[in-house]
Amino acid sequence: MDIFKPLALSTLIAAPLFLIGCSSDDNHVSRVSYQIEVTNLTAAQPMSPLAVALHSGSYAMWQIGTSASSGLEQLAEGGDNTALLAEASSAHAVTMTGNGLILPGTSDSIIINTNMKSDLALSFATMLVNTNDGFTGLSGDKLSNLALGETRSTELLALDAGTEANSESVVTIPGPAAGGEGYNVDRDDRDTVGGHPGVVTSADGLATSALGEEHRFDNPVARVTITRLK
């Protein structure tokens, strides 16, 4: 987690130097600040509290076609961001958790600060809680091309952690549609992260599904707006 006191201090010291365009002084590392606002665009898929990380190019929260980390599995199956944030922290990321569940049609917004570096990137993840292991987010979105005061919006795709088969059964979905189990250690799907195929639901022939027609979704499932504040 970032600490506020040193931020305020370094801002005060660095501010005069910014005005004359000096940023190479080793004693005054530039601080940057981003507002991250995530809007849930689905009909009836609450999204779990955000796991947000600012990091360098050496860390990846996930990659398409690669096995999910244990932290990502825990977020995608159960909505718990604790382990994923711990993984990012141990990879020297600055991390933050969101303010809570993001209900359909609503947004969550956080402000996160760190030291400027040339390969700075944003990653975040949130679970679609009425799924087995569906989530959305960004992995390694480069921030170096976002100028001070600039805003960028990106529409987000539904992703599948690939760690749990999409049975949609009442015992396997943790969201309010089912109230079943969240994370378990088993990996009984293809074990690589990829695009989510959507949910079938009991309304469309999967009799064992705990989900109704309202739980279906299409891409994009969310929108993120990133603004560089400092």
Q: Binders of other proteins among 131-190, rule CB under 8 A? A: 142, 145-146, 150, 152, 154-155, 157-158, 160, 162, 165-168, 190
Comparing CB distances to other proteins, the nearer of 21 and 205 is 205
Instruction: Return the DSSP state at 92.
Output: T
Nearer to other proteins, 6 or 197 (CB): 197
Instruction: Say if residue 148 is exposed, middle or buried (CB neighbours under 10 Å; 0-12, 13-18, 19+).
Output: exposed
Q: Are 126 and 51 in contact (CB under 8 A)?
A: yes
Q: Are 129 and 78 in contact (CB under 8 A)?
A: no
* 215: contact with other proteins by CB under 8 A: no
Number of residues that bind other proteins (CB under 8 A): 33
Least Cβ distance, residue 186 to other proteins (angstroms) = 17
Using the minimum distance from each CB to other proteins, give the nearer residue, 219 or 225.
219
Tokens of residue 110, six digits:
């956080």
Our CB check for other proteins shows the closer of 10 and 35 to be 35
Task: Give the DSSP per-residue string, 147-214.
Answer: -TT-EEEEEE--EE-SSS-----TTT--STTT------S---S-SSBEE------GGGT-TT----GG
Using CB under 8 A as the binding rule, the residues of this chain from 188 to 207 that contact other proteins are 190, 192-198, 200, 204-207
78 near other proteins, rule: CB under 8 A = no
Distance of closest approach, residue 205 Cβ to other proteins, in angstroms: 6
Neighbours of 28 (CB within 10 A): 16
- Of 51 and 159, which CB lies nearer to other proteins in the complex structure? 159
Residue 12 interacting with other proteins (CB under 8 A): no
Side chain identity at 140, as an amino acid letter?
A: G
Whole-Å CA distances, 116 to 10, 19, 54: 12, 17, 10
Interface with other proteins (CB under 8 A): 64-65, 142, 145-146, 150, 152, 154-155, 157-158, 160, 162, 165-168, 190, 192-198, 200, 204-208, 218-219
